[in-house]
Amino acid sequence: MKANRLSFVAVALLLAACGKFEDPTFEEVFDANQAEPPPAREAIAQSATRHLFWGDLHVHTALSYDAYTFGTRALPEDAYTFMKGGTIKHALGFPIRASRPLDFGAVTDHAEYLGIPRHLAGEARDAPDAKLIKALRDGSPIRFSALYLRRVLSDLGASDASRQARFGRDDLQQVSVSAWQRIIDAAERHNDPGRFTAFIGYEWSSTPDERHLHRNVIYRSSTVPSYPFSSLDSENPEDLWKALAHQREQGMDAIAIPHNSNVSDGLMFRVSTYAGAPLDAAYANLRSESEPLVEIFQVKGTSETHPSLSPNDDLADFEIMDEMLSRSVQHSRVRGSYARDALRTGLEFAHERGFNPFEFGVIGSSDSHNASSSSEEDNYHGKLPLLDGTPAQRLGIAYVSERIFRVRAYGAAGLVAVWAEENTRESLFRAMRRKETYATSGPRISLRFFAGWNYPDDLLQSDWLAQAYAGGVPMGGRLHGHANRQSPDFVLVAHKDAAGANLERLQIVKAWVDALGVSHEQVIDVAGSPDESGATHLSSLWQDLQFDAALHALYYARAIEIPTPRYSTYDAVKMGVQPPEPAMIQERAVSSAIWYLPVHGTAH
């Protein structure tokens, strides 16, 4: 049955490439009566040394304007069913299910035009654009998608007055308010402390001049605003931070998580304010309070680093997507677009001016627009259904428009890992605030990282976790210096994904400033597999022989798998074609950093 469905899809998509993709029909294999529900789960007891919890904080449903216009009809209820391990219907008609459930997640639909395309397609009588409605009602989703995409791109760059005239009507505003309430209600119903945590959230989607400045906003509790602050209120991220600060004063704690800095054209981590003024301590404090985390792995590429920024890092070219999400083909400027570069810049600010505007931890998430989490290479089902929902589309055998939609650059990624005492909103949110988090490109690699003074040499031969916490700080922490001290002790422990590949090596990425305040970086292999088959676990108690107690520095850990097939290779096997390059990739986990802060007046 599966092979027949794929061959049918291939024929349909080849016809689409010839311009006959007006009313696509795919074999309907999803049966709601046969869909497997989420598995039962036992509650996990609290632990002082913390459990590892897996989640996705970036999932879109039919309430997002782009997801709906590109075929998604699944709603927040479906998204949480998928996260919890249940089977749902893909927009092209077949069932999708993850191999393992997640521990937590958030539906983060775009606050801009929230729920409006779905409303216009089925309910509106006095529609603002009859052509758009007719395209949907006539069953022409591709034509509708093209029309609506042009409209959205135009409106996102339009003046406030123009946007207000088109989308500021009271009835459409009420549609969005109702959609926001639907997101809240779904999270409340699926939140099950101890078993699964559903966060309330949304995406703030600022795209000035087609530069990507998007953030996901995640709330700590069920105390949330009556409607989100969106980029239609302001496309300036500093205004978002101020709005969140005001909400925190009212008891609505939230964090904003930037994503896809790789296609921000250097604006995500710029060294000036949105208006072009110099950064100051107040800016740094507001940004750090609002944005303790940055998403570095997702479908639309990696934002850890870039080969041109890290030429001595032989793994820097992983899943690079630096072509802008714009109507014309242009590449994003790398400086200011990647996390490691920003972390280095933050050290320079700390050295020269005494504050750090870029002191953040890292996560991964999917950015799926299928109401699902599509991070498994051998179980990947795309990002936007009408564009990359089938192997033929993803391989470029058939596509809607290669010039606009570069779906072949998409990857199957990623996940956020959180070390928290228990699986509750409160505990997970505290962990995210303190940055005890890491990102993976999809596999569930377990990664611990600590730094401290005077850990015993035999630490890892004992019941070491309690000692590691007591004698140092975990990933995301600050380690304060002591005058004339030697290197801190760094503890790294990684275990392979139980259902994944073995580990090839364990690394520390170091960044520091010299006496002149210029930043540098180095990637150090601290443990490795004895052969090409890899290791099930790797660990190291490491010291930095080049450590200088007088200089600002940071360190983070990476665990690297042995090479495994990319999702496109699995697709090629299904389609009977030659796999595109890269056929193999090295999946990885990347920790949040530990910052070393020198004591004032430490001798150099």
> Which has the closest alpha carbon to 294: 279, 283, 304, 307?
304
pLDDT at 604 over 80: no
CA distance 364 to 36: 27
Give residue 167's pLDDT. Answer: 53
Give residue 157's pLDDT. Answer: 47
Query: What backbone torsions phi and psi does residue 347 show, to the nearest 5 degrees?
Result: -65, -40
Give residue 230's pLDDT. Answer: 97
Quick one: average pLDDT of 87-101?
91
- Of the listed ranges 154-158, 219-223, 247-251, the least confidently predicted one is 154-158
> Which has the closest alpha carbon to 372: 42, 59, 33?
59
pLDDT at 10 over 70: no
Quick one: average pLDDT of 75-79?
97
Numbered ranges of CATH 3.20.20.140 in the chain = 2-440
Task: Please count the residues of the chain.
Answer: 604
Q: Using an 8 Å Cβ cutoff, are 533 and 504 in contact?
A: no
> Which has the closest alpha carbon to 513: 402, 382, 350?
350
Give residue 599's pLDDT. Answer: 84
Structure-block tokens of residue 23: 């009313």
Q: What is the residue-averaged pLDDT of the chain?
A: 87
Long-range contact pairs involving 118-123 (C-beta distance under 8 Å, separation at least 24): 118/62, 118/63, 118/68, 118/179, 119/172, 119/175, 121/68
Q: Using an 8 Å Cβ cutoff, are 368 and 374 in contact?
A: yes
CA distance 298 to 319: 9
Q: What percent of the chain stands above pLDDT 90?
A: 72
pLDDT at 136 over 50: no
Residues 6+ positions from 465 with CB-CB distance below 8 Å: 49, 448
User: Cα separations (Å) of 164 from 158, 230, 306?
Assistant: 10, 13, 39
Q: Using an 8 Å Cβ cutoff, are 405 and 93 in contact?
A: no
Q: Using an 8 Å Cβ cutoff, are 571 and 454 in contact?
A: no
CA distance 474 to 103: 21
Domain spanning 2-440: CATH 3.20.20.140: yes
Indicate the residue type of 392: A
Structure-block tokens of residue 231: 């980029």
Structure-block tokens of residue 186: 């779904």
Within 10 Å of residue 398's Cβ, how many Cβ atoms? 21
Numbered ranges of CATH 2.60.40 in the chain = 448-597
| Measured distance between the N- and C-terminal CA atoms of the chain, rounded to whole angstroms | 70
Quick one: average pLDDT of 206-231?
96
Domain spanning 448-597: CATH 2.30.30: no
- Of the listed ranges 11-15, 57-61, 280-284, 537-541, the least confidently predicted one is 11-15
pLDDT in tens, 316-338: 999 999 887 766 678 899 999 99
CA distance 400 to 387: 6
∠ CA(337), CA(338), CA(339), 5° rounding?
135
User: Cα separations (Å) of 125 from 113, 128, 573?
Assistant: 18, 9, 47
543 or 6, which is more confident: 543
Give residue 21's pLDDT. Answer: 33
pLDDT in tens, 160-217: 555 555 555 677 899 999 999 999 999 999 999 999 999 999 999 999 988 999 999 9
pLDDT in tens, 540-582: 999 999 999 999 999 999 999 999 999 999 999 988 899 999 9
Query: What backbone torsions phi and psi does residue 286 show, to the nearest 5 degrees?
Result: -65, -40
pLDDT confidence tier of residue 126, bands split at 50, 70 and 90 = very low
CA distance 115 to 182: 10
